[in-house]
A and B are shown apart, each in its own frame.
Chain A
Amino acid sequence: MNRYTTLIQDGLWNNNVGLVQLLGLCPLLAVTGTLVNGLGLGIATCVTLVASNVTVSLTRHWILTEVRLPIFVLLIASIVTMIELMIKAFYYDLYLALGIFIPLIVTNCAVIGRAEAFAVKQPVDRAFLDGLMMGLGFTLVLVMLGGLRELLGRGTLFDQAELLFGEFGYGLKITLFENYRGFLLAILPPGAFFGLGLLIALKNAIDRRLARRATQPFSLAITQQQTS
């Protein structure tokens, strides 16, 4: 198998940050009230993961094992602060919407987890791809959970897309149910737990089906052998 393919599969599916590693639950559950909020935080986290993985990988020969954790924390905190300043300067409305959750990326253990488990031992290209794929996998979960909760809770999708896409975003909002009275539970924090639980269950169900399909021809071959 190509040396990059496993990284892609791990990040997006097999070792997904949100569904398998279950890291970064605090932002995952807190900001996914709408699809756009989820997407915004997902992108910010993804950029952080890539930047942190690349920086750690580039400097890995100078990172002494005894003090690697303080160094990771230092680098990640710097990167997140830089991203926060950038969002504040160029996407101010998004900053107002995400508010406290951008600094909280610092506490997303997925970032330090990838630095420790992967980037510090790997060359830059692989560290970059790993950060990107882990970030995308996390973003996908944020978007799906945000979309699910927004749809059930408010009957819309892409509400407030202008925060991310500017003028263009006003046209994106889809109202699926007119005069929808809302389903409060989906928007409140418990809704985030239920939604995440459903997504995890869905992933496991798909995995099981795939596994069954993969083993079937094999077991068939065995039974054939026995009968012959």
Chain B
Amino acid sequence: MYLDIESKTVLEVRIIRIATILTLFAILGSGLVTFTYQITAQHIAANERATLLRTLNALISQDQYDNDLFNDFIWVQNEELLGTEQPVILYRARKAEQPVAVLFIPVAPSGYSGAIRLLVGINYNGTLLGVRVISHQETPGLGDYIETRRSNWILDFKGRSLTNPNESGWKVKRDGGVFDQLTGATITPRAVVKAVHQALLFYQQQRPALFNKDNVAP
């Protein structure tokens, strides 16, 4: 194979043309995306905020706190008790400067199909405000009764604490505890009960520090 001078330059011209065209299309593509991003960014941020507030307010009503809940948060990390090595966001509700409750998002790592993310709210005195599922991949029709739109199962956590029931009761009924389960789908509730119990333990260990630490980035 050889190329004479002329066809070499023809080839070079061709390559340059291709490169130019590709560059132009790359600019066109990223230009369009940038433009869309600019006009949607605010809406998206507002949506995300509204969704989170709606979830938080499912556990704590607006008259229970008077601080800017959404912006009063810290990042906490505890692989053993929070179910993930990632930092977890923890919101703090206060009223007249007094601590009222914390809301945070631990993970139940041992669901039937992977991790279940929970929202757990705990009153200052250590009783549960309640628990909700943020995201999960449990089987529809079997493990998804932990969602409020499928059943009331998860509402049972409200008002419970480390002493109600005591240590040995923090299990599903099949394992000798007090929490209901649907026969044929015990793995999912088992994971949730364990995660909530550990979230309570975490709170008990860390309570003094949780309300004092200033907002810090992860």
Contacts and interface: CB of A to CB of B under 8 A. Distances in A.
A64 B33 contact: no
B167 to A, nearest CB: 35
A202 to B, nearest CB: 25
A218 interface: no
Interface residues of B, number: 25
B13 interface: no
Nearest to B142: A184
Given A85-B37, A86-B40, A89-B43, A182 B141 contact: yes
A154 B25 contact: no
B164 interface: no
Contacts of A82: 32-33, 36
Nearest to A93: B51
B45 to A, nearest CB: 9
A188 interface: yes
Interface in B1-50: 17-18, 21-22, 24-26, 28-30, 32-33, 36-37, 39-40, 43-44, 47-48
Given A67-B18, A74-B29, A85 B40 contact: yes
A78 B48 CA distance: 23
Contacts of B33: 78, 81-82, 85
Nearest to A62: B21
A184 B139 contact: yes
Nearest to A184: B141
Given A86-B36, A92-B47, A182-B141, A64 B25 contact: no
A70 B22 contact: yes
A90 B43 contact: yes
Contacts of B139: 184, 187-188
A170 to B, nearest CB: 12
B140 interface: yes
B47 A88 contact: yes
Given A89-B44, A92-B51, A154-B141, A75 B25 contact: yes
Contacts of B37: 85
Given A67-B21, A70-B22, A92-B51, A78 B40 contact: no
Contacts of A89: 39-40, 43-44, 47
A71 interface: yes
A33 interface: yes
A153 interface: yes
Contacts of B141: 153-154, 182, 184, 187
A74 B26 contact: yes
A77 interface: yes
A60 to B, nearest CB: 12
B140 A187 contact: yes
Nearest to A182: B141
A92 B43 CA distance: 9
Contacts of B21: 62-64, 67, 71
A9 B42 CA distance: 42
B20 to A, nearest CB: 10
B29 A77 contact: yes
Contacts of B28: 75, 78
A44 B140 CA distance: 24
Contacts of B47: 88-89, 92
B18 A66 contact: yes
Interface in A46-78: 59, 62-64, 66-67, 70-71, 74-75, 77-78
B142 A85 contact: no
Closest A-B pairs by Cβ, 9 of them: A78-B29, A89-B43, A89-B40, A92-B47, A82-B36, A85-B40, A182-B141, A74-B29, A187-B140
Interface of B: 17-18, 21-22, 24-26, 28-30, 32-33, 36-37, 39-40, 43-44, 47-48, 51, 139-142
24 contacts: A33-B140, A64-B18, A66-B18, A70-B22, A71-B25, A74-B29, A75-B29, A77-B29, A81-B33, A82-B32, A82-B36, A85-B33, A85-B40, A88-B40, A88-B47, A89-B39, A92-B44, A153-B141, A182-B141, A184-B142, A187-B139, A187-B140, A187-B141, A188-B139
